[in-house]
Amino acid sequence: MNPKYERREGEAPYEYGLRLIEIKVEQKPDDLEWEDIVEATGIDCHRDSLRKAASVTPYSGYAVAQYFKRKAASEEAGAEGGSYIKELDCKIAEARKESQRLFDQRREFNKIASRMGRMENLEDRLVEAAKALSETRPLEVNKALDSHYGQSEAVLCFADWHYGMTANNVWETYNTDICRRRVALCVNRAIERIRRNECRRLHIILMGDMAHGGIHVSARVASEELVCDQVMQVSEILAEAISTLADQVEETVVHATYGNHLRTIQNKQDNIHADNMERLIPWWLRERLSGRGDVTFPQADYFEFLYIPVCGYNICATHGDLDSVKNAGKTLHTLFAKKYACDIDYVLLADKHHKEGFEELGIDSRIVPSLCSADDYANGRRLYATPGQLLMIFVPGIGADACYTIRLDEEAGA
Whole-number pLDDT of residue 220: 45
Angstrom distances, CA of residue 254 to CA of 11, 32, 75, 277, 388: 70, 52, 78, 18, 19
What confidence category does residue 78 fall into, taking pLDDT thresholds of 50, 70 and 90? Answer: low
Q: How far is residue 355's CA from residue 278's CA, in Å, rounded to a whole number? A: 23
> What φ, ψ does residue 238 adopt, rounded to 5°?
-65, -45
For 28-60, where are the alpha helices, taking DSSP H only? 34-41, 47-53
Q: Which of 55-64, 215-224, 319-328 has the lowest mean pLDDT?
A: 215-224
Give the 3-state secondary structure of residue 165.
Answer: strand
Whole-number pLDDT of residue 284: 86
Q: Does residue 407 carry a pLDDT above 90?
A: yes
Report percent pLDDT > 90 for the chain. 40
Q: How far apart are the first and last CA of the chain?
A: 75
- What are the start and end residues of each CATH 3.60.21.10 domain in the chain? 138-407
The CATH architecture that domain 138-407 belongs to is 4-Layer Sandwich (3.60)
| Residue (of 193, 175, 159, 167) closest to 350 by Cα position | 159
> What φ, ψ does residue 47 adopt, rounded to 5°?
-60, -35
What confidence category does residue 321 fall into, taking pLDDT thresholds of 50, 70 and 90? Answer: confident
Whole-number pLDDT of residue 414: 45
| Residue (of 136, 137, 134) closest to 288 by Cα position | 134
Q: Which of 115-124, 149-158, 175-184, 234-243 has the lowest mean pLDDT?
A: 115-124
Q: Which of 17-21, 32-36, 84-88 has the lowest mean pLDDT?
A: 84-88
Beta strand ranges found along 207-320 (DSSP E): 251-256, 295-296, 306-310, 313-317
Contact 278/263 with Cβ under 8 angstroms? Answer: no
Q: Which of 92-106, 261-275, 377-391, 394-408 has the lowest mean pLDDT?
A: 261-275
Q: Does residue 316 carry a pLDDT above 90?
A: yes
Contact 254/210 with Cβ under 8 angstroms? Answer: no
Adjacent-strand bridge partners of 345? none
- 141-155, 231-245, 273-287: which is most confident: 231-245
Contact 260/271 with Cβ under 8 angstroms? Answer: no
Query: What single-letter DSSP state applies at residue 294?
Result: T
Mean pLDDT of the chain: 82
Spatial neighbors of 69 by CB under 8 A, at least 6 apart, are: none
Amino acid identity, position 326: K
Q: Is the dihedral of CA 210, 215, 221, 226 positive or negative?
A: positive
Give the 3-state secondary structure of residue 127.
Answer: helix
Contact 94/86 with Cβ under 8 angstroms? Answer: no
Whole-number pLDDT of residue 91: 74
Whole-number pLDDT of residue 161: 94
Expressed in percent and rounded to 5, the helix, strand and coil fractions of the chain are 45, 20, 35
